[in-house]
Structure 1
Amino acid sequence: MFVFVVVAAVFAVLFGLGVLRDRRRFSNAVYLGLAVSFLGLGLLAGIDEAPHGVAETVMVVGLLVLALGPVALAGLLCANGVKMVRKEGRRPANLLSLLAGLGIFGVMGLMAAAFATGSQTLGIVVATLLMILGYVSFLFLCFIGYAFLYGRMRIRRDADYVVVLGSGLIGGRRVPPLLASRLERGREVYETLARRREVDRTPVLITSGGQGPDEQLPESHAMADYLMERGFPADRIVREDRSRTTEENMLFSKAVMEAERPGSECVIVTNNFHAFRAALMARKAEVNGQVVGSPTAAYFWPSATIREFAAVFLQYKAVNLGICGSLILLGGLALAFTG
């Protein structure tokens, strides 16, 4: 137990140092996940010393979670996937939670088949698949846990700009609810910063978004119009109307800020499911900014979060695909030796 707790403490220290150095690192999420995991192992290792009945209760609860948890999770994901399709259409991005739920059911089916047939080959395939899923699931939980913490960190006091990231327009010119949520959050952040600053250093709000092929005007212009129609001061808005991707949002907004106030800091506003990945992008683009999220409809969150995680996973594909490939190689070697 002591060894596990010591290792957990080491990772907790690395997590703390990483956050102090830069909050926008995925390694912070991994350190946090490792610290929690080793602490949990330490507590399990010392369960024998717990009062009578505690060990039995923990074991029963653990078995129930292992047995019923995947079934419940898969069912909820499938139900959410059906709701996404009904509300948002059949675009591939809207199918992610449904596909994840069906994938979990598929793995459970393979496990049942391996157990029922006693096939050694199928058993090795399932074991390899479970190792890969275990690795990916660990990173996914790290991602969710740290994204939750990152979204609740206090907004910096000395930012000069609020950058609101654009998204698609309805009918080519109207702000949809998802983007309106970002704009309302951006207004809140602007007002908070304005109360803290000197009059001659009032923050500026940048609406960031270019014009898509199916849009009648740049997103940034529609966003600015939305804010001004609701009383936001026009002279405190700057339109960045060239960007077509999140990366370009960062780079082109940075150019605007550097041209007006070199070395300035900013608060970037997007939706809550996108905040942590946007923070990773901001760090990569060397934008000196914290990212905050606006509320998103609950049914939209699972598929959007899976999409965000997949993008982050592939952002570090050399490491992640290398580890997954190594696990597949181990499985292949096991098959070769047993064959």
Structure 2
Amino acid sequence: MTGAQVLFGLAASAAVLCVVGVLVERRRFRNAVLGGTAVALLLMGAVAELSRFDAGVVDVVTTLLGVLLIACVLVLTGFLLLNGVVMMRREGRRPANLLSLLAGLACLAVVVLVPLTVVVDNRFLTTLTYVALLLAAWFGFLLCSLVAYAFVYGRVGARPGVDFVVVLGSGLIRGAVPPLLAARLDRGVALWDRERERGGDPMLVTSGGRGPDEPVAEAVAMADYLVARGVPSERILREDRSRTTRENLVFSRALMTERAPDHRCAVVTNNFHAFRAALTARRAGVNGQVVGSPTARYYWPSATLREFVAVLAEHPVLNGAICLALVVLGVLVGLDR
């Protein structure tokens, strides 16, 4: 059995495990990692298959792949830097709004390190470059896996026949519902209307407490927004104690369980937040899938990076151990050069 065949076999195994994981419980990050692993192994197997061709063909293909990879990295770096500037101008300089800029600067550092290592013969610089490349490859793999799986998850949506439609809060601006939250509420109303057209009679749940700078609880302002758009007030449950996504889901689950112990629900948030909310919903014991509402295009990259960091932070020991192993490997390889 050739190396390519082994890689193809491993890719198939990872793909099967991913599909089984989705069928059993699609609200798991491991499904994203397994799917990404299957794609990565498939690409590695395809590259290994090049050895069967003439040396000239191999040189041309590898050169094209190298140029394509460099072009993608340069385009991504420029896009992240530009988006970081746009985010600062439109959303302010809060740490959460700087993520795309910081990611662009990190990519730029790697882009500069690689050719600098070729020109300058310095063991420390070489070691630093290997460490940076290994960490960049690992985080890049995880990010691509997360984005791809979250995209697929968002397209599947929730099955019809829900008893409740839960809309997660995202903060008020001077007591009013801002566009980001309005998009969630509009999607929630659309799901609510769809269920009624199919003969159901679900309730809407607005979930969000009162922040220190808010005159009313988010749940109240959200309910007022829905009533103004024709939703009967008696068909809305107001969960007004939560401060975090986890509390949104835990407290909403308690309200729903009081009225229907065997309920099933759909949870609405913005599309960039849907998959992490789904991970949280599974841990909170919520019986329902999460659907996303549209988000402004300029806001999506930074928000996605924030979600990525949050997902990694939920597994600090595992990710810390992997990063440490990559750093050690990079040091050993760099010092051996």
* TM-score range for the pair, normalised by the shorter chain length: over 0.9
Q: Tell me: CA distance 1:50–1:293, structure 2 relative to 1, closer, same or farther (3 Å).
A: farther
Gap change, CA 1:239 and 1:54, over 3 Å in 2 = farther
State the partner residue of 1:195: 197
Partner secondary structure for residue 262 of structure 1 = coil
1:77 aligns with 2:88: no
Q: Which residue of 2 aligns with 1:178?
A: 180
Deviation at 1:2, TM superposition (A): 2.0
Question: What stretches of structure 1 move > 6 A for 4+ residues in a row?
Answer: 50-54
Q: RMSD in angstroms over aligned alpha carbons? A: 2.0
| 1:241-292 C-alpha deviation (Å, 9 max, x unpaired) | 0001101001000100111100211100000000000000001111111000
CA distances 1:33-72 after superposition (whole Å, capped 9, x unpaired):
0111111122222245679997666434312222222111
Per-residue CA deviation, residues 76-126 of structure 1 (Å, 9 max, x unaligned), is: 111111111111111111111111111111122222332221112210121
Aligned-partner Cα distance in 2 for 1:112–1:333: 20
User: Is the 2:158–2:288 contact (alpha carbons within 8 Å) kept by the matching residues of 1?
Assistant: no
CA displacement at 1:129 relative to structure 2 = 1.7
The aligned amino acid for 1:114 is T
Alignment gaps of 5+ in structure 2: none
Per the alignment, residue 290 of structure 1 pairs with: 289
Deviations 1:5-56 (A, max 9, x none): 2111111110111001101000000110011111112222224567999766
**Separation of aligned partners in 1, 2:212 and 2:13:** 51
Is residue 32 of structure 1 aligned with residue 32 of structure 2?
A: no
Please give the alpha-carbon distance, in whole angstroms, between the structure 1 residues aligned to 2:56 and 2:196: 57
TM-score (norm 2): 0.94
Question: Aligned pair count?
Answer: 334
CA shift for structure 1 position 330: 3.3
* Match runs of 1:261-272 below 5 Å: 261-272=260-271
Q: State the SS of the aligned residue for 1:290.
A: strand
What is residue 24 of structure 2 aligned with on the other side? 21
- Residues 1:46 and 1:85: Cα distance change in structure 2 (over 3 Å): same
TM-score when scaled to structure 1?
Answer: 0.93
Query: What residue is the counterpart of 1:159 in the other structure?
Result: 162
Aligned partner letter, 2:173: I
Q: Alpha-carbon deviation of 1:332?
A: 4.5
Hey, what's the Cα distance between the residues in 1 that align with 2:185 and 2:235? 14
* Percent identity for Structure 1 against Structure 2: 49
- In structure 2, the CA distance between the partners of 1:185 and 1:57, relative to structure 1 (3 Å rule), is farther
- The 1-side partners of 2:153 and 2:61 are apart by 31
> In structure 2, what residue type is equivalent to 1:227?
L
Task: Give the C-alpha shift of residue 191 in structure 1.
Answer: 1.3
Specify the SS of the correspondent of 1:293.
Answer: strand
* AA matched with 1:170: I
SS state at 2:177 partner = coil
Does residue 68 in structure 1 map to residue 71 in structure 2?
A: yes
CA distance in 2, matches of 1:104, 1:66: 13
Shift of 1:182: 0.2
**Which gives a bigger RCO, structure 1 or 2 (Cα 8 Å, sep 6+)?**
2
Measure, in 2, the Cα distance between the counterparts of 1:58 and 1:164.
Answer: 49
Unaligned stretches of 5+ residues in structure 1: none
Alpha-carbon distance in structure 2 between the residues aligned to 1:299 and 1:320: 29
What is the match of residue 121 of structure 1? Answer: 124
Q: Secondary structure at the match of 1:157?
A: coil
Structure 1 residue 325: Cα displacement: 1.1
